[in-house]
Amino acid sequence: MNSDDLLASVSDVSDESEFYTPMPDGYIRGRCRYVVIVGTVISGLGKGIFSSSLAKLLQDKGLKVAPIKLEGYLNIDSGTLNPFRHGEVFVLDDGMECDMDLGTYERMLDLNLTRDNFATSGQVFTRVLEKERHGEYLGRDVQMIPHVTGEVKMRLRELAVKSNADVVFVEIGGTVGDVENAYYIEALRELAYEEGPNSVCFVALTYVLEPSTLGEQKSKAAQLGIKRLMEMGVQPHIIACRSARAVTEKVRQKIAQYTNVPLARVFSMHDCDSIYIIPSMLREAGYDFEVIRLLKLEQRINLRKERKAWLKWCDFLDRLEALKYKVTIGVTGKYTTVRDSYASIIHALDHAGVHLNSDVDIRWIDTTDINDDNVAEKLAGLHGMLVPGGFGVRGAEGKIACIGYARENNVPFLGICFGFQMAVIEFARNVCGLKKANSTEIEPDTDEPVISVLPEQKKIEGLGGNMRLGGKDIDLTVDTVAWRLFGQKPKTHMRFRHRLEVDPQYIDTLSKNGMIFSGKAPNQPIMQILELPDHPYFIGTQAHPCMTSRPLNPQPMFVGLVAAAKKLAYPQLQLPDPAAAAELILQQTRQLQLTTENSS
């Protein structure tokens, strides 16, 4: 039976056939192609960075791309995962809490993704079990193959239909050989069989070891890792060798010989300084055209469009590599040893830095031992301070001390979510005289609960999934810093992930004492942005602005922070105020967008 006959006969459950491939309505086979990224040897190879960079090269050529990450774990989403173990929980506009790789895709592709772009084993099995309970398997025993794998293929094809993508990029979590991810690889093997030749391109990322005692690169682990993939019935088309240094020709030859992959498609992908360099590394090595040829997409690409997109990207890279100024920004955080927990913040600071010709040096500050007596010494030399999101008691008082210091000493400050809440507490205590002000998260029985559980969230407390999540509109108050930062528009939109909020009963007191709530939820008394006048830059938001910062479109609140830090670090330059600097950058990025849109 060829794959056409197979597809014609397998759509439904029946006693007649062993095949089971549910198909979404409107799916046209051959319309969408798939690139599948798997990792071998070790985890942490940067599959998401690789996949998003390759997807970007195809997107630049006018192809519509849609990424999806398949996670092996049984959690329904990443909401309950500890960022210390798994990296930050990234929130999509539709409220999905997902793996940080989705942030990488959004930044690289400048796309807003949805829950369709993120699948976990928990979601896949839930769907299978729901179908079982509804009798949809018609008396069959429900099996990993074909039912669970069928569900995976269904998810991928649904994404293809919904996104109308030319190419779906499938990143399989973990490493080949993990039990929990094996059924994903099997599903993709089946998909390739059903879709037919030139429809699915498998890319294996592997690792070439270079033990210091030997001083030479060894390919055995890479060979074995790929063999493992081949044992599962998958022949990779492309191999990307991660390594500390460029992989030698000899090692590439060995890998090619053992894996049936032509040498021209065994690439070196060694470490580099910035992830934003990866697309150019892949482009120079010719990955993009290998994929285009393998998937027979030559007729769909637009090289004129690519030239323009690539120029813009190269301009960003040129600027990134020649930053003239340097600012030091302190970031307070509990997970200070794990940079992945603050990935979006690091990127947002970098994006803003590039647009302000400034290298942002982040100084990580553990606040557990900071108090009013030592805060000046701990924060010495900073040009700005950022207090990020967080949960729980640890280090909270230290953060409040840092914010008090920034407020009184004109240090530029940006508070994000928990940082915004701590700024409210600091102000309530030290300016409004509410000495006992606190958050009910830190002190459940506090006498002055300036931050407490949202009225709307109280109703669902204890049921799980009780956070206020996803993209929300924010009404901006005219003539405030926030209003100027966002281009003097009446509204903006940011992503949220919180349970607590400024208690509405304190809004009056805080405002009367000089705190300006410049961003509010449209129809509820939810304070979303605060700022202080008579300070070079003191701003906070209940949202997570870092999650919508993009390389070519830096997030305005971050631009404001870096601009204010630069102004403090280089007084001799007589720089504009931070809001004016942000307005200028907003105009420039809009202009650039318009010029490329009009001319493509």
- Residue 409 vs residues 363, 528, 534, 567: alpha-carbon distances, Å: 18, 24, 12, 15
Number of residues that bind ligand GLN (CB under 6 A): 10
Q: CB under 6 A: which stretch of 215-223, 353-361, 406-414, 498-506 binds ligand GLN?
A: 498-506
Among 401, 395, 403, CA closest to 366: 395
Specify whether the CB–CB gap between 41 and 222 falls below 8 A: yes
Specify whether the CB–CB gap between 546 and 558 falls below 8 A: yes
Q: CB under 6 A: which stretch of 300-308, 483-491, 497-505, 553-561 binds ligand GLN?
A: 497-505
Among residues 47, 378, 498, 566, which is the contact residue for ligand GLN, using CB under 6 A? 498
| Nearest distance from C-beta of residue 375 to ligand GLN, angstroms | 21
- Residue 497 is a binding residue for ligand GLN (CB under 6 A): yes
- Residue 230 is encoded by which pair of tokens? 């081949």
Among residues 500, 516, 530, 568, which is the contact residue for ligand GLN, using CB under 6 A? 500
Alpha carbon distance 236, 37 (integer Å): 10
| Nearest distance from C-beta of residue 343 to ligand GLN, angstroms | 14
| Nearest distance from C-beta of residue 49 to ligand GLN, angstroms | 25
Among residues 246, 391, 443, 487, which is the contact residue for ligand GLN, using CB under 6 A? 391
- Residue 390 is a binding residue for ligand GLN (CB under 6 A): yes
Alpha carbon distance 434, 420 (integer Å): 17
Specify whether the CB–CB gap between 279 and 313 falls below 8 A: yes
Q: In this complex, which beta carbon is closest to ligand GLN, that of residue 304 or of residue 459?
A: 459
- Residue 147 is a binding residue for ligand GLN (CB under 6 A): no
| Nearest distance from C-beta of residue 337 to ligand GLN, angstroms | 19
- Residue 530 is a binding residue for ligand GLN (CB under 6 A): no
Alpha carbon distance 418, 472 (integer Å): 17
Q: In this complex, which beta carbon is closest to ligand GLN, that of residue 389 or of residue 404?
A: 389
Q: In this complex, which beta carbon is closest to ligand GLN, that of residue 188 or of residue 345?
A: 345
Q: In this complex, which beta carbon is closest to ligand GLN, that of residue 265 or of residue 497?
A: 497
Alpha carbon distance 575, 257 (integer Å): 59
Among 543, 473, 480, 472, CA closest to 511: 480
147 φ, ψ (degrees, to nearest 5): -75, -45
- The count of other CB atoms within 10 Å of the CB of residue 293 is 13
| Nearest distance from C-beta of residue 434 to ligand GLN, angstroms | 19
DSSP string, 3-40: HHHHHHH-SS--SS-S------TT--TTTSEEEEEEE-
| Nearest distance from C-beta of residue 382 to ligand GLN, angstroms | 21
Alpha carbon distance 412, 410 (integer Å): 6
Binding mask 349-388 for ligand GLN (x = CB under 6 A): ----------------------------------------
| Nearest distance from C-beta of residue 370 to ligand GLN, angstroms | 19
Position of minimal CB gap to ligand GLN: 389
- Residue 67 is a binding residue for ligand GLN (CB under 6 A): no
- Residue 389 is a binding residue for ligand GLN (CB under 6 A): yes
Q: Write down how long the chain is.
A: 600
- Residue 335 is a binding residue for ligand GLN (CB under 6 A): no
Q: In this complex, which beta carbon is closest to ligand GLN, that of residue 75 or of residue 596?
A: 75
Which residues, 406 to 465, sit near ligand GLN by CB under 6 A?
A: 417-418, 441
| Nearest distance from C-beta of residue 148 to ligand GLN, angstroms | 34
Q: What share of the chain is helix, strand, coil (3-state, %, to 5)?
A: 45, 20, 35
- Residue 499 is a binding residue for ligand GLN (CB under 6 A): yes
Specify whether the CB–CB gap between 98 and 89 falls below 8 A: yes
DSSP category for residue 367:
G
| Residues at the site binding ligand GLN, with contacts judged by CB under 6 A | 389-391, 417-418, 441, 497-500
